Structure 1
Amino acid sequence: MNLEVLINQYYEQLNENDLHVINYISQNLILCKDKTVTEIARNCNVSPSTIIRTTKKLGFHGYSEFRYFLKEEAERIKDKQVSNNQHFSSSVLLKDVQETIKLFEDNKRLEEIYNLLLESNQIFAYGTGYGQNLMLKEFSRCLWNYNIYLNIIPSKTELELISEAITPNDLLFVASLSGNIKTIESIIKNIVVKKVPIVSVTSFSRNDLAYIADYNLYYQVSNLNKVSSLNNTSYCTLNLVLSLLYEGLINYVRENE
């Protein structure tokens, strides 16, 4: 099991401090694998006890076991990079990008989504995993340029709370890779019953989230790992479709001024 799978598995239990620590470690894996808990805590500007609590939330008994995991993870990534350099073709990613652009351009309901972004009282966004949440945060940052505030829902608990107060005059984005919403299905259905417009953002496939949502945005992902259900390029095309939506919104506003 790799670090990304662990993050997705225990995502609902992680707070902002945990995500800060994990983000630092994941981006500096080679550096961190030989560091003590005190050294990592100093680099993250948190206490050593915070690091230990984070590792336990990821299912480890303590930091020593986690550091052993990091060493194995670093070796796995190194081997994978060597393999990718030998076998991976950039044409796969290029095809995913081209297909994602085509899926977006073929979407007949974009103007409806633009109008919802401009007219909704409140706009919320929920990512079913760590990476999806990061891409939504970047989308939120872009929307600020047009004074549109996207409320990022950090966890299932907050999603459940918001589901009680959200109204048909609001808007909800839900981003997922597979579109599997079993863990939040009852919450999403509660929101659907309240006639709140939902925009799904998923890989191009028949999936539960896309079926239940009012509007669909798709991105293409090739070579999906059947074991981990992850793909290194998935965040690239997810980010692309959200960027296309933002650029489309800008053009729509300019054309209608």
Structure 2
Amino acid sequence: MQNNDLSNAELHLWETVQKNPQKIAKMSIVKLSQFAHVSTATIVRTMQKMGYSGYTSYRESLKLQDRSNSNFDVLNDADDKIKSVITKNEIEMNNTLHNLSYSNIEDSISMTKQANVVYIFARGLSESIGQEIMVKLQLTGKYVEFHSDPNIIKTASKRIKDDALVIFISLNGNTPELVEAAKNLSRHDVPTITFTTNPNGQLASLSTLTFMGYMSKTNYFPDYEVRSRLPLQIMTRIFSDAYSVRTGFARQ
């Protein structure tokens, strides 16, 4: 998203918050509305256009930046278009980390420990993430199978027993063969973990445990399904690293 896509009121608001980040981080949406002389609807609309889910996520990103004192030199040198590219990734990272639940991390570790077999199902660009998890879990001594073929996924899901664990990796959470597999597994009470960025996706509602990342609305390849898997990579890396720590493998 570029500044010239904003209306006059939205541009005024964006310039105001950019000039007063420390002050804005402490303001409620009502106080910001009064401070910038714009409506709360304008605030929400502006933040969404700039890649945030709303004002709360923008304010949280300011707090994260303040805590980490993040100041990337590249942003001082880059033009507005490249800045927007860099900022998009920063937004996805910050909001994905903000969405993480500590209880989800611990529960996912317990579920993985208890499982006799772990199956990982993924399609498309998410396959490489699934393969990475498979290798890391195998290194800790876990028996893991990874499948990306749609027919194998659908067939295997009918035969998996309830002492196993199935991990789904899906950006939009609606991949047909993964949804069909999740329904099959649900009928047999097989525990499942889903890594996704779509809270309204079918996989999220069918899964035992869901890690919900944040995906920016900005897409630099709009005609193709090649959106960034950064949120999925962040969550799955935290999951596999945390599993290594909790099982004691990281100390070896």
Normalised TM-score (structure 2): 0.60
- Counterpart CA distance in 2 for 1:248 and 1:116 is 13
> Judging changes above 3 Å, is the alpha-carbon distance between structure 1 residues 143 and 102 closer, same or farther for their aligned structure 2 residues?
same
CA RMSD in angstroms comes to: 2.7
Aligned partners of 2:107 and 2:171: how far apart in 1?
23
Q: Equivalents in 1 of 2:115, 2:80: separation in Å?
A: 44
- Name 1:140's counterpart in structure 2: 134
Q: CA 1:147–1:254 in structure 2 vs 1: closer, same or farther (change >3 Å)?
A: closer
Q: Name the structure 2 match of 1:242.
A: 236
CA contact (8 A) 2:125 2:226 kept: no
**Cα deviation code 1:134-178 (max 9, x no counterpart):** 111011122222112321112111112212320110000111111
The equivalent residue for 2:173 is: 179
Residue 79 of structure 1: aligned partner: none
The verdict on how the C-alpha distance between 1:146 and 1:205 changes in structure 2, with shifts beyond 3 A counting, is: same
Q: Which runs of 5+ in 1 are unaligned?
A: 1-82
Paired position in structure 1 for 2:94: 98
**Is it true that 1:118 corresponds to 2:113 in the alignment?**
yes
Tell me the SS of whatever aligns to 2:157.
helix
Query: For the Cα contact (< 8 Å) 1:124–1:153, is it kept in 2?
Result: yes
Identity across the alignment (%):
14
Which residue does the alignment assign to 1:154?
Answer: 148
Work out the CA distance in 2 between the residues paired with 1:102 and 1:155. Answer: 33
Question: Which residue number in structure 1 is paired with residue 124 of structure 2?
Answer: 130
Partner of 1:42: none
Instruction: Say whether 1:211 aligns with 2:205.
Output: yes
How far the C-alpha of 1:247 sits from its partner, in A, is 1.5
Q: Does the 8 A contact of 1:221 with 1:231 survive in 2?
A: no
User: Which consecutive residues of structure 2, in runs of 5 or more, have no partner in the other structure?
Assistant: 1-78
- Alignment size in residue pairs: 171
TM (norm. structure 1) is 0.59
1:227-256 deviation per Cα after TM superposition (whole angstroms, max 9, x unaligned)? 547454x2222111111001211232349x
